[in-house]
Amino acid sequence: MKAASLIVVAALSLCVTPGSIAKDTVLLPRQQNNCGNVRVQTKSVSPVKNSQGDRDGAAQKDEDRKTSARSEHPIDLVICLDTSNSMDGLIGAAKEKIWDIVNELATAKPKPHLRVGLYAYGTPGFGTQNGFVHKVVELSDDLDKVFTELTGLRTNGGDEYCARVISTATDQQPWTDRKGLKILVVAGNESATQDPKLNVFETAKNAISHGIVINTIYCGNPAHPEANDWRKIATAADGQFASIDQNSGTVVISTPFDRKLGELSAAINSTYLAYGREGYQGQQKQLAADSASRSMGSANFASRAAAKVSGQYRNSSWDLLDASKAKSFDLKKIKNEELPPEMQRMSAEQQKDYVSKKSQERADIQKQIAELNTQRAKFIQDEIKKTGRSTDKAFDAAMLKALRDQAQRSGFTFDSK
């Protein structure tokens, strides 16, 4: 196996409305628990008109992000979701557990730089010319965008060309060219060999030749004849095969810590200082992702709170505090009109003090979230043991087992549980 790479192929049956936010109830058997009616009060920054100075500033931000990424070890995770009918349970599981997957990968050492991409396939509206494949999100560390797009996925019938989405993702995504993990995820419940033009096993071999490992997830009985092809795909690309119960395998446990974590998730937003031409849009994405997460219940919103302190929740393109971590950052070089409104009337010294104050506020909230999340994780594990519930057939369990194993073989380590 090429130790520097990984693909997980997840074929979940859905239909996508790009940019939309899910307002429906997730189809998962779980205990609903109100996470509190939390109002988020955040000062908005109006969109800034583009100028040569804006473009220069954007170029510097991009270079800063690349410099930061080069000091970390890349993990590229592309999830390919089958958007045909009959798999609403699996879609719900992906939405419900995406933050838990992020939080788990964030514990890897050395510190990873996680980017996530997303495809939907199997919906007639995506068109025959590209094999009913649609790129929803290009590999990005903007987790708010990824989550918002994921929650907008919907099911609709069609032909599921597993080979086409593997081939498209392999060729189309801007995979890292550095040592790390390359991950593409496909999970499905029908034949993996439906594509009339491409041989799925050849596409798998092509993926691994580019350092991309494919892990497959079959949503059904592992003894079914169709499951064998999913195994062969994983074998061809040095990956792992798993079978899950899409409708009842996911375990969601509400805890006494969820409400407070939800409140802290909202509170930490007040420490984000939106600035520059991306400030307003970035702030709105954060609020949209919060709204989508909150609508799914207290457990999801609590997991999102933990993700905000995981080290993988990055907003340096629009948040002044995250941007200030870059070595090249100079507050004095930012145009006054691009600063948050409350900072525009301050002196240079007052602005510096204000950023320092907000940084301390964020650190204090992050510490509270981390402490509560540790207690929450223990409560969940104790509850699972006490009730005898099994996570063996859960979507997130299948994903994380493969990711942990392959990350460890690539040089990453995780704290033992």
What is the structure's pLDDT at 36?
Answer: 39
Average pLDDT (253-282) is: 96
Q: How confident is the model at residue 50 (pLDDT cuts 50, 70, 90)?
A: low
Give the alpha-carbon dihedral of 383, 385, 386, 388, to 10 degrees: 110
**Tens-digit pLDDT profile for residues 180-196:** 899 898 988 889 999 99
Q: Which residue has the higher pLDDT, 310 or 187?
A: 310
What is the structure's pLDDT at 415?
Answer: 79
- Check whether 333 has a pLDDT greater than 90: yes
- Check whether 338 has a pLDDT greater than 80: yes
- Residue 289's H or E segment, with its range, is helix 279-295
3-state secondary structure of 3: coil
Q: Which residue has the higher pLDDT, 256 or 417?
A: 256
Kindly state the tokens that stand for 127.
């068109």
DSSP assignment string, 42-88: ----PPPPP-HHHHHHHHHHHHHHHHHHHTSEEEEEEEEEE-SSS-H
110 and 179 Cβ atoms separated by less than 8 Å: no
Query: Which distant-in-sequence residues (6+ apart) come within 8 Å of 250 by Cβ?
Result: 28, 29, 30, 89, 92, 93, 96, 97, 394, 395, 396
- Check whether 78 has a pLDDT greater than 50: yes
- Check whether 404 has a pLDDT greater than 60: yes
- Check whether 22 has a pLDDT greater than 70: no
85 and 191 Cβ atoms separated by less than 8 Å: no
Residue 77 pairs in a beta bridge with 116, 183
The greatest distance separating any two alpha carbons of the chain, rounded to the nearest whole angstrom, comes to: 71
**Tens-digit pLDDT profile for residues 111-147:** 999 999 999 988 888 899 999 999 999 999 999 999 9
Amino acid at 122: G
Q: How confident is the model at residue 219 (pLDDT cuts 50, 70, 90)?
A: confident
- Check whether 64 has a pLDDT greater than 70: no
Q: How confident is the model at residue 61 (pLDDT cuts 50, 70, 90)?
A: low
Average pLDDT (173-186) is: 91
- Check whether 390 has a pLDDT greater than 90: no
Q: At what angle do helices 395-409 and 88-106 cross, to 10 degrees?
A: 30
- Check whether 92 has a pLDDT greater than 50: yes
**Average pLDDT value for the chain:** 84
Domains of the chain: 7-22+73-251+391-409 (3.40.50.410)
What is the structure's pLDDT at 32?
Answer: 36
Average pLDDT (8-30) is: 37
- Check whether 361 has a pLDDT greater than 50: yes
What is the structure's pLDDT at 403?
Answer: 93
What is the structure's pLDDT at 188?
Answer: 83
Average pLDDT (197-225) is: 94
263 vs 96, 294, 393, CA distance in Å? 19, 11, 32
What is the structure's pLDDT at 67?
Answer: 53
DSSP assignment string, 98-156: HHHHHHHHHT-BSPEEEEEEEEEE--GGG-TTTTSEEEEEEEES-HHHHHHHHTTEE--
Report d(CA 5, CA 328) in Å as an integer.
31
Kindly state the tokens that stand for 31.
């205990």
127 half-sphere exposure, CB direction, 13 A CA radius: 4
Q: Which of 48-52, 101-105, 268-272, 306-310 has the lowest mean pLDDT?
A: 48-52
Average pLDDT (98-113) is: 93
